[in-house]
Each structure stands twice: as C-alpha cells, then as structure tokens.
Chains A and B, each alone.
Chain A
C-alpha cells in the first residue's frame, strides 16, 4: 500500500484541515478512486486520533509555576526600604564587628547588627533579582548543590503541601562567612531561610525589625534564621512545619 507520491503531503494537510475548499474537493474525489491514498488517509487519521485520545503532552511541575510567579511578583514590587547608613557602617568601621561574628551574637541574643544584615540579605535577594542560584522545587537538586560550596549540609525540604513551596537555594554572606540560603514562597511573599553552623536554643525566638519578621532557632549544630515580610503567624507556621519536616 502506498499513496501517490504527489498526494502524500496533501493527505496530511487534508487530515489537518489545512486545505482550501478547491483542493479538498479534488483530493476527496481522488481518494475515492485510489486505494493507496485512501489507506494512507486512514492511517494518518488513526495516528492523529490516538495522539488526541492518549494526550501525551506533559503538565508543568507545580514548582515551575510557583517560581515564575514568585519572580514576577518580586520584580513588579518596589524593593523594600533598606536601613539608612548601614552601607557606610559595613564598608567603614564595621569590619571588626563582622569579624567578631557569632561570638558577639552569642552574648547579644537580640543581635541587632546580625538582624540588620539578615534583613539586608533578604532585601538584596529581592532587589538585585538574585533570589536563587539553583532554582528548583526538587530538594534532591538543592541539597547536593550546596556540596562543596559550604562546609556543612543544610537540611532541605519542600513544604509545598503546607503552603510554603521551595523555590531554590542560594549562597549568601552573613557576618563575613558563607551561609546557605533556602528560598521558600508564601503566596506572594518570599521567605529566606539562612543556615550556618553554630549553636542556638532549639526553641524558636521571634523578633521584628523594620517591618520584617525574623525567627531564630537551633538544631543539630546549625543556626536557622527565617526572614520574611509575611506576618509573624505565617512565619512561625513555617518554622513549625520546617522543624517537623526535618525532625
């Protein structure tokens, strides 16, 4: 069985509804008298019917839409106001304070300078549109991505079913050291979760600064700081869900 060579492409166009009326008439008349072309047309229609009924198209993973929506939200929103004078403070005489780092923080649990840095890191992630270095909702992609970039293994979980989808991961700097930042989304808001080695009480401590909420807790030799402009209840919910998922 084979169709007439000069009719091959026209048969596909007929099956696709791409022929004009004159060509349709002529080709239909031909198919009635040509077994080869008739069989070819049946085969083409059969292939099309199976493609239509089986629907082999792929649906986008939910994390894809979440990440794109988070990115366009962030780019369309005016950047958060940053603390006046902080830039001078850090670039100027503040280097010693940074070097003092966590030791200083241990004596001052309210960590004024540290909180400012965390908020700035959060603002920077939105303002410079550098939200993530590795963009994926797959925790199995994010976790190994940190290998070799930081000398500890931050726990990575996706909390999409709890309403905090994982957007990705990023390297950041806090107190002059490399820290891991995990990025989650809460509706139109972004939650940055900063992680580095250190000691902190396991009980979550909530604080507020410059319109941001911050929650700090410790676990397994790591310090966690969640920073976001979501309301405090949502951020505490995030902390509880994250802790439960990494227990």
Chain B
C-alpha cells in the first residue's frame, strides 16, 4: 500500500531520493524542480503568477506539444512546468516567456529521460520523418500548406528533427530573440542560427517554396 493513501499523513510521501515521483503528472507536491525546497506560495504569489505567467499557458503547451509531438504528453509536461514555475516564481528575472519556456523545455527532457516517452520518437522515427517525401506526396502537402491548412503545416514542422524543430518553434512561433533561444537551449548563438537556417530550409522544401524561386 502506498504511503500516501494512509489517513492523516501530514506531509506528502516522498521517495527515498526525493526525486520525481512515479505520478509525475500529479499536482503541486512541494519542492523545487531539482528537489530543492521551495517556499510555501502565498496568496499574493498566486495573484502574481496569474497575472504574469498564466497568459503564456498557450505558449507553454505549444512548445511542449512540438517537442513531445503527443497531445496527452504535452498536457502533462505543460502542467508540470507551470506548477514548477509557480513554486519557483521568486527565481523569475527579466522576461517571463523565455523563463517559462526554459522550464517547459527542462520538464520535457526530464520526461524523456524518465522514459515516459511512449510515442514513437526514437532515432529511427526521426530519420523516417525527416526523409524527403516522394514528389506526389510533397506537392499535395505543399498545396495544402499554400492554402493555409494548419494541420498540414503542423505535420511539416513536426517532421523536422528535434534541435532544428525546437529552434524554429522558439523563433518563428514564439518569436524569441536569438539571444533568448541561445540562453534557453544552452547553445552558442551561431549554433542557434545554423539550426534555424536548417529548419527553415527543410520546411521550405516541404512547402515547395524553393521550387517557386528561379
């Protein structure tokens, strides 16, 4: 029997290592993202969180969705990230959105490390997805994207391998600056720029943009 089901426990049951618990999607459990103790949130902190952070809920979910490429996983990751952000609100300096998206990104990598990743996103899947589709498929997809079909465009973005996809999403969807992306991803600015260029080139091929240019 799990300790947390016993009545009248005053503190949440923690694993011996006080690391992430098995039910990682559970709500607030206390403690910081790396196991450090976080201060008890106060009502004013809740108000501040609502005002500053919650307006970026869509951005948090969208990034989680493009990283995990799975709706249910993205919801778990975004929720964990938002609650971590709440517990660690005092660590916020400067812009809110890059700070929150950095937490989302870390939460995503934690999730992947833990092996919660049950979707087919191993290296083989990356390669399969990254392969250039045949001509007929490509033109159909390109036509859909040209007509503004959002699902076709999302599928094309999801087919881009991870580091390039991440750079594209952070820049062209979330409109972060190169410097902010470099800080979030821990990559040098030149690496960010080349990843972004590669992502856009792959997307341009799928969109058929390159063929239209002489």
A: residues with CB less than 8 A from B are: 1, 8-9, 12-13, 16, 18, 39, 42-44, 46-48, 50-61, 63-65, 67-77, 87, 90-91, 117, 120-121, 124, 127-136, 138, 141, 171-173, 178
Contacts and interface: CB of A to CB of B under 8 A. Distances in A.
30 contacts: A9-B194, A16-B171, A43-B204, A47-B200, A47-B209, A50-B207, A54-B149, A56-B150, A56-B153, A58-B58, A60-B60, A60-B62, A64-B61, A64-B78, A68-B82, A68-B83, A74-B27, A74-B28, A76-B41, A90-B7, A90-B8, A91-B8, A120-B7, A128-B10, A129-B29, A130-B29, A134-B23, A135-B79, A138-B72, A172-B5
Contacts of B149: 54
Contacts of B213: 1, 39, 42-43
B154 interface: yes
B10 A54 contact: no
A43 B209 CA distance: 6
Nearest to A68: B82
B197 interface: yes
Contacts of A58: 58, 61-62, 65-66, 74, 154
A187 B193 CA distance: 45
A1 to B, nearest CB: 6
B57 A64 contact: yes
Contacts of B43: 76-77
A133 B61 contact: no
B61 A60 contact: yes
A75 B28 contact: yes
B125 interface: no
Contacts of A60: 57-58, 60-62, 75, 78
Given A67-B79, A133-B23, 8 more contacts: A70-B27, A73-B46, A75-B40, A76-B45, A90-B8, A130-B27, A135-B26, A171-B5
B203 interface: yes
B160 to A, nearest CB: 12
Given A58-B58, A71-B83, A72-B46, A130 B193 contact: no
A90 to B, nearest CB: 6
Contacts of B112: none
B203 A59 contact: no
A68 B173 contact: no
Contacts of B210: 1, 43
B8 A54 contact: no
A173 B7 contact: yes
Contact of A57 (B27, B75, B173, B196): B173
Interface in B153-181: 153-154, 157, 171-174, 177-178
B17 interface: no
Contacts of B8: 87, 90-91, 120, 124
B153 A50 contact: yes
B44 to A, nearest CB: 9
B209 A46 contact: yes
A62 to B, nearest CB: 10
B214 A65 contact: no
B5 A71 contact: no
A136 B172 contact: no
Nearest to A10: B193
B190 A9 contact: yes
Contacts of A73: 46
A124 B183 CA distance: 40
Contacts of A133: 23, 26
A110 B94 CA distance: 56
B214 A1 contact: yes
A173 B153 contact: no
B58 A128 contact: no
Nearest to A172: B5
Interface in B42-75: 42-43, 45-46, 49-50, 54, 57-62, 65-66, 71-72, 74-75
A71 B28 contact: yes
Contacts of A39: 213-214
B75 A61 contact: yes
Interface string B60-104: 111001100001101110110011001000000000000000000
